[in-house]
Chain A
Amino acid sequence: MKNGLKRFLNCKPVRAIGPNRVVLLCVMIFLCLLFQLFSALLNRGNAFLTYERAVSAVNYGYFIGFMALGATFVIATGGIDFSIGPVMFTAALISGYCFQRYNLPMGAALLLCPLIGMIFGCVGGFLVSYLRLPSFITSLGLMQIAKGIGSLFTKTQNVSWPAETDPGGWFRKLSNIRIPLENGRVFNLPTGLLILIAVAVLCAVILNTTRAGRYMVGIGSNREAVRLSGVDTRRWEMLAYVICGTLAGFAAIFYVGCYTTVIPGRGDTFNNEVIAACVMGGTSMSGGVASILGTLIGSLMIAIMQEGILSMGLSISFQYALTALILIAVVFADIAGRRRKN
């Protein structure tokens, strides 16, 4: 059994993806089966493995996924960004408010979201890479500032983006295309998933093949060495934060596409899930190791866990407890594995 496992973990396709990711995928599949079993037992007639549930789960996964992709860049440089959730909300608030009150056309509002995220990313990146402020506290401060700005801009009012049938509601097609069927039901085509995968591929290309990506990872593992080799580390570190902010703003489009209304002053709860997704996927908190594929799988896993808990008829609190256990288990396994290798 142990030999079989070793052979499995050492075979070529598994090594190409990375054994950590494969393990994560297996855990995900195992969880799906577990949820299916329990939802049939606990919640009569409520299956988990249905198409509708999958769509509902990935709805949650879109914005978490985009934010996690951005966070991967920052964590790769050895930093942390606590402001992603509130920045996403602020982008959604400001753009939505402009659309509602100032009659900004929807296309412009959609472009405004990542732009606002980029501005926050620039500020954060400047503070961390040029002024050398510690990223933990800086992002904490930025988080408060983002919440405050978003709230003040909309005068503490909620902002609701248009429904599909309202003017401007076409942006929802970016997340889901709803096709009505004859029997009254609606078929949901998860276009957001396609966009998520496309952006993930783009991020993977940037991180793994371009000079920028290599420098960012290098800064995370050994900043001095990179600097001494003549590279301006400040520029590339700041770029990581700019990418993170832009993706957070981009995530806003998918958040409002699924959940419509944004409440000012909130959003920090999503930070934990985003960071958990990155870490579960194999990105190391100390920097220098990053995996886009792992982050993607981690985000989907969080989304699936969330849906699975709901389908079992349990309250959402179980999701937090479960995510915590899995997070610690995954990290511990990773550390133990690395220690054994040494």
Chain B
Amino acid sequence: MKRAFSILLVLTVLTVCAAACAEEYYHFEIVSKGFQATYWQAVQKGAREEADRLNREAGYEMITMNYTGPDSEADITQQVQQFTSALNANPSAIGFAAVDQNAFRDLLNDAISRKIPIVGFDSGVPGAPEGAVYANASTDNYAAGAVAADGMWQKIEKRIEQADGPVRIGEVNQDATGESVTRRGLGFIDRIIALAGEKDWKVFVTGNEYYVGNANGACAEESEAKIILEVRVPAQPTVELCANEAFVLLNKEDLIAVFGSNQPAAEGIISADDNLCVCGITDATVIAVGFDSGATLKAVIQMGIMYGAVTQSPVDIGRKTIDLLLACARGEPVEDVDTGCAFYTIENIDSEEIAQNLYD
């Protein structure tokens, strides 16, 4: 009897010890690009939801996280300070979406030498030193730009065929330096060139130097082109300045379609259109295609002002980031995750697969 009791006692003690030793605590620092667009609120929501879910499963507060971001996507100083602060907090892992590719090299090397894993999300950390970023949770932005082009092409192909002279397609990109925007912008341009090439139409790319220089397969002379693709980038990445650029585009007589490669750019196009009232979904209007969602874009798509947009899965990006962070902190092997994108219009905006990714 006594022996049985002592065996039971030892087993109980061992189990308790094992449980206590198995208690993991992880603190994650997430430095995002800010909260300017409601897109980022959705990412944050996804991250918090996943962290809460994991904590509920574990039964205790296994994961704590600190989610920060600069005032605007142009505030490099703030993000550097925040990232340095994140490093100094000695977290288990850091989730990071850099506003600038070049400002973080030294800090990333620090992270490598301190063995703090970094998980990139959204645009991630392009150009990071080898071994700094363990994995990325993001959309394939180049493919997303192509998806936008495909969606727009369906609507405008016939119109281009029937047009007498060259037509103009506009593109508004918030900047020429961020990874997500530049990849989407180039993805759109290259896809339009490819689709036009199938019909033997030439495309002339004009406007911002960066996009003109990196386009694939554009023709050299404006006079030869059937499609003129004008790319405009505002001086600073704000909705008002994007609206000014969009205003110039929307005023051009030969414009038949315009693409805004992220939420602020798309909202800028709509803001400019409020004054001009030229966008719509008929053949006599300018076909506007946006990116992400948000209350404004959802409303204008439903009102028939904007034709459609490409949605990412921001909530999913947030969730997958936390999953990847946990895996890195535990030392498990990780891989990049492509969270996907889809084109939506007024027709499928209410469908289940699209609606779950839309946010206000």
Contacts and interface: CB of A to CB of B under 8 A. Distances in A.
A245 to B, nearest CB: 21
Nearest to B86: A310
Contacts of A310: 81-82, 85
Contact of B78 (A263, A265, A311, A316): A316
A261 B105 contact: no
A157 B106 contact: no
Interface stretch (A44-52, A119-127, A195-203): A44-52
Contact of B102 (A46, A151, A156, A160): A160
A315 B110 CA distance: 24
Interface string A171-186: 0100000101000111
A313 interface: yes
B89 interface: yes
B100 interface: yes
Contacts of A163: 102, 105-106
A151 B235 contact: yes
A264 B89 CA distance: 32
B85 A155 contact: no
Nearest to B209: A155
Contacts of B71: 316-317
B233 interface: yes
Interface string A40-63: 000111100010110010011000
A184 B110 CA distance: 8
Contacts of A317: 71
Given A186-B110, A263-B76, A157 B176 contact: yes
Interface string B200-216: 00000000011000000
Given A44-B27, A259-B103, A315-B68, A264 B88 contact: no
A160 B89 contact: no
Given A160-B103, A180-B113, A43 B76 contact: no
A264 B177 CA distance: 13
A260 interface: yes
A215 B30 CA distance: 53
B115 interface: yes
Contacts of A60: 77, 81
A266 interface: yes
A165 B177 CA distance: 22
B194 to A, nearest CB: 27
A287 B177 CA distance: 43
Nearest to B78: A316
A261 B236 contact: no
Contacts of A315: 68
A156 B100 contact: no
A158 B76 CA distance: 11
Nearest to A303: B81
B36 to A, nearest CB: 13
A265 B209 CA distance: 18
A43 B110 CA distance: 22
A263 B72 CA distance: 12
B187 interface: no
Contacts of B62: none
A178 B110 CA distance: 10
Interface string A85-99: 000000000000000
Nearest to A180: B113
B66 interface: yes
B235 A45 contact: no
Interface in B36-87: 64, 66, 68, 70-71, 74, 76-78, 80-82, 84-85, 87
B235 A156 contact: yes
Interface centre among A43, A151, A172, A260 (most CB of B within 10 A): A260
A307 interface: yes
A53 B88 contact: yes
B101 to A, nearest CB: 8
A68 B352 CA distance: 57
A306 interface: yes
Contacts of A43: 66, 89
A316 B106 CA distance: 23
A92 B42 CA distance: 36
A180 B113 CA distance: 9
A164 interface: yes
Given A151-B235, A180-B113, A311-B85, A261 B106 contact: no
Contact of B177 (A56, A157, A178): A157
Contacts of B104: 260
A156 B84 CA distance: 28
Interface string A300-336: 0000001100110101110000000000000000000
B199 interface: no
A258 interface: yes
B82 A266 contact: no
Contact of B27 (A45, A156, A260, A307): A45
Interface of A: 43-46, 50, 52-53, 56, 59-60, 151, 155-158, 160, 163-165, 172, 178, 180, 184-186, 258-261, 263-266, 306-307, 310-311, 313, 315-317
Given A180-B113, A186-B109, A258-B80, 18 more contacts: A43-B66, A46-B88, A56-B85, A59-B81, A60-B77, A156-B233, A156-B235, A157-B209, A160-B100, A163-B105, A259-B77, A260-B100, A260-B104, A260-B105, A264-B235, A266-B74, A307-B85, A313-B68
Top 7 A-B residue pairs of the complex, sorted by shortest distance between their CB atoms: A160-B102, A260-B103, A163-B105, A184-B113, A310-B85, A56-B84, A261-B100
29 contacts: A46-B89, A50-B88, A56-B84, A56-B85, A59-B81, A59-B84, A60-B77, A156-B233, A157-B176, A157-B210, A164-B106, A184-B115, A185-B114, A186-B110, A186-B113, A258-B80, A259-B80, A259-B103, A260-B100, A260-B105, A261-B76, A263-B76, A263-B236, A265-B235, A265-B236, A266-B236, A311-B88, A316-B71, A316-B82
